[in-house]
Amino acid sequence: MSRKIWQVNKVNKDLAISLAERHNLFAIAALIASSRGIDTDEKIRAFFYDELDFFSPWDIPDMEKAVYAINQALENFDRIAICGDYDADGITASALLYSYLEEQGADVICRIPDRSEGYGLKKEAIDYFSEQGVKLIITVDCGISSIEEAEYAKEKGIRLVVTDHHIVGDTLPDCYAVVDPYRADCNCRFKAFAGVGVVFKLLCALEQGDTEFILDAYSDIVALGTIGDVMPLVDENRLIVRRGVEMINSSDRPGIISLREAAGQSEKRVTSGSLAFTLIPRINAAGRMGSPTRALNLLLCEDSVISDDIAADIDNANVLRHKTEQEIFTEIKEQIKQNPMLVHDRIIVVDGEGWQNGVVGIVAAKLVETYGKPAIVIARNGDDARGSGRSFEGFSLYEAIKASSSVLEHFGGHTLAAGIGLKSKNIDAFRREINNFASKLEPVYPVLNIDCKLNPVAINNDLLNALSTLEPFGAGNAVPVFGLYSMNIDGVQAVSEGRHIRLMLSKGDTKISAMRFGVSPIDFPFKKGDTIDIAVTVEANEYLGEVRPSVHIKAVRGSGMDDKKVLDGFALFEKVMRREVLTSEEKKRAFPEREFMLDIFKFIKKQGSWQYDSETLCYRIGDDGTNLCKVAVSLDAMLELDVLIKDENGVITLPDIPVKADLASSKILTYLKS
């Protein structure tokens, strides 16, 4: 996993205690809430007790016109077409609007394009709708950028209503109504809806503001799309998702029941968090690995036998999606092994022939998490290529791509995620352009937000009860992360045939166990007797009817390590590897004296082997990260001259026959001295 800056939220304990007493809250819940800006009586009541009114749907511009157009089509029994997006948000938004209109007796059809067709309303879709006798098209989760398509629909004599939640460009589509909270003339209290959330407000308007009726009927579908599109679970989204999760847990909707069974969730109580990792990836997989219409049909299905078949098909698509992701990621790791400079770049750009377009964004996110850098994964298909990128807070991937757009055919997205299209021959030029842009910026490091420091003695069922009051968790209201500092390792146990580990930890008289998933004992750089800091989440684990807290480790570092020094050291080493011009101060921090290198050699000789990163080596020799770049340079120089050797698994050892070499003659030290 990538190294991050551990940042503990600032808290006002006196304020938290006061809020807890006035509102009968758990102290730790009030502390976390207040540190997240929920720090007034009004905000506390809205967050914990749902004392928040839904704002009028009529506050969104053009809502009245959209309602009029739909009601007129219903009265005239005109054919209505819904055009959505192929992700979970677009699929649920389409299902929501279709279900409602069908209930009203509408003549309605729905079309969601495959990924191969591209995002949004296309002229080909308008032609299809025209052939089907459609009089009104309603877009969901798309349409705000369909300027030419709006004109084309008008030429065809088809009325168009756009509902979307994406940022509005310089020009609105010239159509009958544009319902988007991000319009400049929209002054509604809350804007951060998913596309399905905008449709929710539309249905509330169609029901003359009867929000409760729509929530009772459809909050499960709205919740799935809102969580799936990673919308902030605050304000109205929080109320919708809270109701939706409860509805899913008692759902009689055949499609959701079948999907829960396929995901192995039928006997478990789902939460917003579990939905994000079980049901929603399967809805998305339908669009990533084939036709999204399967997921739409599942949500609309009223026959449990048919819904079981569709859910099984979608589950298979999800298995294939996961397998495809892993195959691409494995191929990328091999590319990196052959060309390590790919990950020494400021922005990782990798490409491959025939990679599945539907999953490259997920792979990009995995690269960001692994290497702590923005990443773009490009799928080549002959002369043409399409890519998807991901970033982290503090680095705008969209601005970086925009600055490099001279070699692109098209691009779009936002700060943390973006997509591109280009000619395959221009991939290398794009890699150079975007990294040249990044080289002019100050380094930005990913941050691990920690809600508060925690004494391990406080990990008990009272803590679980306190955390439950903060649900539902998701974007804008993340699962609380706690920092446990100076924990002693009493033991490391392999779990699930070595795929995971359980740490036995202690601090003073308190002993706890904590799980570290996806890390094997051989890959874990710490051992019994070490003192570490861990960032953890605490979740409820039910076994044989008894509920106990389960501690899950999100990140580990050696106690005493300085985050900023460590990350500065890594960044400087990569600058050295790129052979960039260094300042005199940077040279001083990077250049290891002979005695320093000899100490590193002796340490590895004493250990017998070394297979971990430079930070762990710093920890072992008692360095807080100050000399991390020197450690990395020392290893590079000794490996280059065969004083040390590295096998295919990355394990460093001494050669059987010792090699005498002039270390100063290595390429990296020659560069530093120049």
Q: Answer yes or no: is pLDDT of 117 > 80.
A: no
Q: Answer yes or no: is pLDDT of 336 > 60.
A: yes
Give tens-digit pLDDT for 493-522: 999 999 999 999 999 999 999 999 999 999
CB neighbour list of residue 275: distance below 8 Å, 6 or more residues apart: 223, 224, 227, 245, 248
Q: Quick one: pLDDT at residue 414? A: 80
Q: Quick one: pLDDT at residue 511? A: 97
Give the residue-averaged pLDDT of 421-433.
Answer: 96
**DSSP state letters, 584-621:** HHHHHHHPPPHHHHHHHHHHHHHHS-B-S-HHHHHHHT
Q: Answer yes or no: is pLDDT of 469 > 80.
A: yes
Q: Quick one: pLDDT at residue 166? A: 86
Domains by residue range for the chain, with CATH: 5-10+448-558 (2.40.50.460), 57-210 (3.90.1640.30), 339-443 (3.10.310.30), 563-673 (no CATH)
Give the residue-averaged pLDDT of 434-444.
Answer: 94
The torsion angles phi and psi of 241, rounded to 5 degrees, stand at -70, -40
Give tens-digit pLDDT for 596-628: 999 999 999 999 999 999 999 999 999 999 999
Strands 375-381 and 348-353: parallel
Q: Quick one: pLDDT at residue 411? A: 85
The b-or-e profile of 281-320 (16+ CB within 10 A means b, else e) is: bbbbbbbbbbbbbbbbbbbbbeeeeebbebbebbbebbeb
Residue indicated by tokens 């700060």: 415
Q: Quick one: pLDDT at residue 1? A: 53
Of 120, 125, 117, residue with least CA distance to 144: 120
Report the 10 Å Cβ neighbour count for 246: 16
Strands 417-423 and 384-390: antiparallel
Q: With beta carbons less than 8 A apart as the criterion, state whether 276 and 312 touch.
A: no
Give the residue-averaged pLDDT of 462-479.
Answer: 94
CA gap 22, 550 in Å, rounded: 30
Percentage of residues in the chain having pLDDT higher than 70: 100
Of 195, 95, 190, 99, residue with least CA distance to 144: 195
Reported as a pLDDT band with limits 50, 70 and 90, residue 415 is: confident
When the pLDDT of each residue in the chain is averaged and rounded to a whole number, the result is 94
Give tens-digit pLDDT for 24-43: 999 999 999 999 999 999 99
Q: Answer yes or no: is pLDDT of 410 > 90.
A: no
Give tens-digit pLDDT for 213-258: 999 999 999 999 999 998 999 999 999 999 999 999 998 999 999 9
Give the residue-averaged pLDDT of 170-192.
Answer: 94
Give the residue-averaged pLDDT of 101-117.
Answer: 91
Reported as a pLDDT band with limits 50, 70 and 90, residue 550 is: very high
Structure token digits, residue 316 = 């298979």
Give the residue-averaged pLDDT of 42-50.
Answer: 93
Q: Quick one: pLDDT at residue 169? A: 80
Give the residue-averaged pLDDT of 337-353.
Answer: 94
Q: With beta carbons less than 8 A apart as the criterion, state whether 637 and 669 touch.
A: yes
Reported as a pLDDT band with limits 50, 70 and 90, residue 542 is: confident
